C-alpha cells in the first residue's frame, strides 16, 4: 500500500542544501532538501502544490544527453513501477520528464541507508538485525518472483527507516531474469558485491543477487567485507582462492551456526552451489532466526 511518504536512499546533504544556487522549484514541485546524490541522480525532498511530501529522483544534469544513462534511468523506473507493491521495495508514484530532464517520483519516509548505519554503528542496526536480514531477502524474493534481478544490491541501496523497516532502492541496473544465464555487455555494478561470474564477464542470472546478498549480510554481521580489494581483479582473486577468507563466526562468535551456513552458501563461487531461489533462502533465514 502506498502512503504519503517516500523512501529514500540516504541522509540530508547539508552542504548541498546550503548552496544558494540549488534549484528551489521544478515544475509543480517545491524542492526543499537534497537527500542524496548518487552516481546517476540526485534525490530531493519535495512537496507538490497540495503540500504532500515525496522524494523526487532526477538524472544528473551532466547526463541529460547521455542516451545510455537516460535508458538505464527509465528502465529502472519502469521496473520499479511493476514491483513496488511490496513493503520491502521503495514506493513508486510516477516518472517522466520535467523540462526535458528525467525524474522519478517516490514515496518519502525518513531513513538512512545501510552503509551509513554500519559506518556509525547505529544501535538501530543491532536492535533490528534479524528482521533487516530477513526483509532484505524478502524484497529480493519479491523482485525475483516478479521476473527481475537487481544487479546492484549493496548496503547503499538498502534504506532502513527509523522504525527498522527495510526498503530496496535504485533499480537503474535491474534487468529481467533471463531463461538461462546471459552475458551482459559492459557489466556495470559495484565490484565488492559482484559475484565471481560477473567479475569474469561470464553469463549471469538472479543468483548474482544471491551472492550480493551474502556479501551484504556478511558485512552487517562482521563489520568487514568477505573479499576486500581495491580493484576488481584483487576482489576476484580473493573470491577464487579463499586463502584469507574468514567465516562469519570467526569474526563474530554471536552469529548463529545456522545463519553462518546460509551466508556461506550464498557466497559459493559456483552459482550452482548457491540457493536456487530467494524463496528457499528466505525460508532458511526464518528458521535460523526464529522469525
pLDDT tier at 188, thresholds 50, 70, 90 = confident
pLDDT digits (tens, 9 = 90+) for 135-144: 999 999 999 9
Q: Inform me whether the pLDDT recorded for 76 exceeds 60.
A: yes
Give mean pLDDT, residues 64-78: 95
Asked whether the beta carbons of 164 and 132 are under 8 A apart, the reply is: yes
Structural domain including 218 reads 111-289
Give mean pLDDT, residues 113-133: 95
Give mean pLDDT, residues 250-270: 97
Looking at residue 64, which CATH number applies to its domain?
Answer: 3.30.200.20
Examine the domain organization and report whether 74 and 115 are in the same domain.
no
Give mean pLDDT, residues 214-229: 97
Give mean pLDDT, residues 141-159: 97
pLDDT digits (tens, 9 = 90+) for 83-92: 999 999 999 9
Query: 195 — phi, psi (to 5°)?
Result: -70, 155
In a domain, 226, yes or no: yes
In a domain, 1, yes or no: no
Examine the domain organization and report whether 10 and 28 are in the same domain.
yes
What average pLDDT does the structure give for the chain? 91
In a domain, 168, yes or no: yes
In a domain, 46, yes or no: yes
Examine the domain organization and report whether 281 and 255 are in the same domain.
yes
Q: Which residue is associated with the grid cell 546550503?
A: 18
Q: What is the b/e burial string over 269-281, where b = at least 16 CB atoms within 10 angstroms of the residue's CB? A: eebeebbeebeeb
Examine the domain organization and report whether 135 and 53 are in the same domain.
no
Provide the pLDDT for residue 106: 96
In a domain, 85, yes or no: yes
Looking at residue 158, which CATH number applies to its domain?
Answer: 1.10.510.10
In a domain, 99, yes or no: yes
Q: What DSSP state is assigned to residue 121?
A: T
Examine the domain organization and report whether 151 and 236 are in the same domain.
yes
How many domains does the chain contain in total?
2
Examine the domain organization and report whether 209 and 72 are in the same domain.
no
Provide the pLDDT for residue 9: 41
Examine the domain organization and report whether 80 and 184 are in the same domain.
no
Q: Which residue is associated with the grid cell 525532498?
A: 45
Q: Inform me whether the pLDDT recorded for 117 exceeds 50.
A: yes
Examine the domain organization and report whether 259 and 165 are in the same domain.
yes
20 vs 96, residue with greater confidence: 96
- Cell readout for 161 is 527507516
Examine the domain organization and report whether 84 and 189 are in the same domain.
no
Percent of the chain at pLDDT > 70 equals 92
pLDDT tier at 185, thresholds 50, 70, 90 = confident
Provide the pLDDT for residue 22: 52
Examine the domain organization and report whether 210 and 256 are in the same domain.
yes
Provide the pLDDT for residue 23: 52
Give mean pLDDT, residues 116-130: 95
In a domain, 133, yes or no: yes
Examine the domain organization and report whether 104 and 115 are in the same domain.
no
pLDDT tier at 148, thresholds 50, 70, 90 = very high
Residue that finishes a domain, picked among 80, 109, 138? 109
Examine the domain organization and report whether 137 and 201 are in the same domain.
yes
In a domain, 40, yes or no: yes
Residue that finishes a domain, picked among 83, 109, 135? 109
- Round to the nearest angstrom and report the end-to-end CA distance of the chain: 23
Q: What DSSP state is assigned to residue 182?
A: B
Give mean pLDDT, residues 153-158: 96
Amino acid at each position: 500500500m502506498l502512503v504519503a511518504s517516500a523512501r529514500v536512499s540516504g541522509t540530508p546533504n547539508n552542504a548541498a542544501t546550503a548552496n544558494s544556487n540549488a534549484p528551489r522549484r521544478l515544475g509543480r514541485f517545491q524542492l526543499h532538501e537534497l537527500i542524496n546524490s548518487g552516481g546517476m541522480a540526485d534525490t530531493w525532498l519535495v512537496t507538490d502544490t497540495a503540500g504532500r511530501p515525496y522524494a523526487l529522483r532526477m538524472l544528473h544534469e551532466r547526463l541529460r544527453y547521455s542516451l545510455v544513462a537516460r535508458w538505464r534511468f527509465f528502465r529502472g523506473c519502469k521496473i520499479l513501477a511493476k514491483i513496488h507493491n511490496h513493503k520491502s521495495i521503495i514506493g513508486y508514484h510516477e516518472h517522466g520528464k520535467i523540462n526535458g530532464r528525467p525524474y522519478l517520483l517516490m514515496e518519502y519516509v525518513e531513513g538512512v541507508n545501510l552503509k551509513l548505519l554500519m559506518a556509525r554503528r547505529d544501535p538501530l542496526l543491532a536492535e533490528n538485525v534479524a528482521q533487516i536480514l530477513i526483509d532484505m531477502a524478502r524484497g529480493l524474493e519479491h523482485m525475483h518472483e516478479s521476473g527481475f534481478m537487481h544487479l546492484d544490491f549493496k548496503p547503499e541501496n538498502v534504506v532502513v527507516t527509523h522504525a527498522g523497516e527495510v526498503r530496496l532502492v535504485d533499480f537503474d541496473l535491474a534487468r529481467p531474469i533471463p531463461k538461462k544465464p546471459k552475458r551482459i555487455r559492459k557489466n556495470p555494478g559495484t565490484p565488492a558485491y559482484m559475484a565471481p561470474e560477473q567479475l569474469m564477464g561470464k553469463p549471469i542470472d538472479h543468483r548474482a543477487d544471491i551472492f550480493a546478498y551474502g556479501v551484504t549480510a556478511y558485512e552487517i554481521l562482521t563489520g568487514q567485507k568477505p573479499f576486500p580489494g581495491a580493484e576488481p581483479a584483487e576482489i576476484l582473486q580473493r573470491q577464487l582462492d579463499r586463502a584469507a577468507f574468514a567465516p562469519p563466526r570467526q569474526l563474530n562468535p554471536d552469529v548463529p551456526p545456522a545463519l553462518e551456513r546460509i551466508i556461506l552458501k550464498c557466497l559459493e563461487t559456483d552459482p550452482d552451489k548457491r540457493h536456487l531461489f530467494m524463496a528457499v533462502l528466505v525460508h532458511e533465514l526464518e528458521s535460523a532466526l526464529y522469525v
